[in-house]
Amino acid sequence: GVANLVTPLFGGVPATAAIARTAVNVRTGAGSRLAALTHALVLAVVMLAAAPLVAHIPLAALAGVLLATAIRMVEVGSLLALARSTRSDAVLMVLTAAATLALDLIAAVGIGLVLAAFLAVRKIARAATLEQVPLDVSDHHAEEAALLAEHIVAYRFDGPLFFAAAHRFLLELTEVADVRVIILRMSRVSAIDGTGATVLRDAIERLEHRGITVYLSGIRPGHDKTLQSIGVLDRMRRQHRLFEHTAEAIAAARTHLHRTGVMTDVARPALEAV
């Protein structure tokens, strides 16, 4: 932003970040901003030292490179998962793509955000419920402390899991440390869209990559289709990590930790007493 403010004062042309460059960097294994800096330096050297040679490259060859880059940017699996998740996600994807072709990328992103916000508010309004809860809610700090001593942590989602909060949830969840098992309690999720389901899948895969086993409990029947479309439920069922109640997930987590040697039988009686 500062560069774009200063550059025109010296006769330069403002520029913007290119999603094509970012996509190429990510797919080639880039892990930091150093990749973008290196890319910029290489382009500067090419423009300053090799511009006469680059001028002889046929435009057809450059067009082919751009087409290949554009094709690699498209994640077909993610698009198919969004199309199968819910009707609103499919409509949103189609309209955004049509706006990109008919107008431009900036307008399409704006239209997509406005439409996604409208659909999210509509779904939240339909999911609103009135629930009577007891006044003498017990304190669960002792149980949570006992689970944490076993290298187990349980998270309960309350409310909708939509695109707006999905990425924040992913960042918070993947920063968890010093645990071997995470139990995600889904019974309080009022609604979930395709983006939320995709982020949930990515969070599970990142945690598993770090050696953390993830269990799911309490998934509502209305959310089966969205989670099924991205392949979460099938894999969790095959690995016996999907449960109806949290107590069953905790028991399975303890069995898993005993089997892998993380928990010892010495600590088990005190924990079962809790």
Q: What is the CATH classification number for the domain harbouring 151?
A: 3.30.750.24
Tell me: do 154 and 65 sit in the same domain.
no
Tell me: do 147 and 261 sit in the same domain.
yes
Tell me: do 43 and 148 sit in the same domain.
no
Structural domain containing residue 185: 141-273
Give residue 138's pLDDT.
47
As for how many domains the chain has, the answer is 2
pTM of the entire predicted model: 0.54
Which of these three, 40, 74, 108, is where a domain ends?
A: 74
Tell me: do 69 and 187 sit in the same domain.
no
Tell me: do 160 and 254 sit in the same domain.
yes
Distance CA(14)–CA(1), nearest Å, equals 9
Phi, psi of 167 (to 5 degrees): -70, -35
Q: Is residue 257 part of a domain?
A: yes
Q: Is residue 91 part of a domain?
A: no
Give residue 215's pLDDT.
92
Residue with tokens 């554009």: 70
Which of these three, 15, 46, 74, is where a domain ends?
A: 74
Q: Is residue 129 part of a domain?
A: no
Tell me: do 65 and 184 sit in the same domain.
no
Tell me: do 266 and 165 sit in the same domain.
yes
Nearest to 199 by CA among 154, 160, 245, 237: 160
Tell me: do 148 and 257 sit in the same domain.
yes
Q: Is residue 56 part of a domain?
A: yes
The helix/strand/coil state of 219 is coil
Q: Tally the residues of the chain.
A: 274
Q: Is residue 109 part of a domain?
A: no
Tell me: do 255 and 158 sit in the same domain.
yes
Task: Look at the alpha carbons of 126, 127, 131, 137 in this order and tell me if their dihedral is positive or negative.
Answer: negative
Give residue 167's pLDDT.
65
Q: Is residue 88 part of a domain?
A: no
What the block records as the tokens of 80 is 């198919």
Q: Residue 216 pairs with which residues in a beta bridge? A: 184, 242
Beta strands 152-156 and 181-185: pairing type? parallel
Tell me: do 154 and 269 sit in the same domain.
yes
Q: Is residue 218 part of a domain?
A: yes
Which of these three, 52, 74, 96, is where a domain ends?
A: 74
What secondary structure does DSSP assign to 221-242, as a single string? GGGHHHHHHTTHHHHHHHTT-E
Q: Is residue 113 part of a domain?
A: no
Tell me: do 150 and 262 sit in the same domain.
yes
How does pLDDT run along the chain (274 residues), one tens digit per residue?
788 888 888 888 777 666 767 777 777 788 788 888 888 898 889 888 888 888 888 999 989 988 887 787 777 777 777 777 777 778 888 888 899 888 888 888 888 888 888 877 777 656 544 444 444 444 455 555 566 666 788 888 777 777 666 666 666 776 776 788 888 888 888 778 777 788 888 888 888 888 888 999 888 887 877 788 777 788 888 888 999 888 888 888 888 888 887 765 534 433 343 3
Give residue 205's pLDDT.
86
Tell me: do 148 and 265 sit in the same domain.
yes
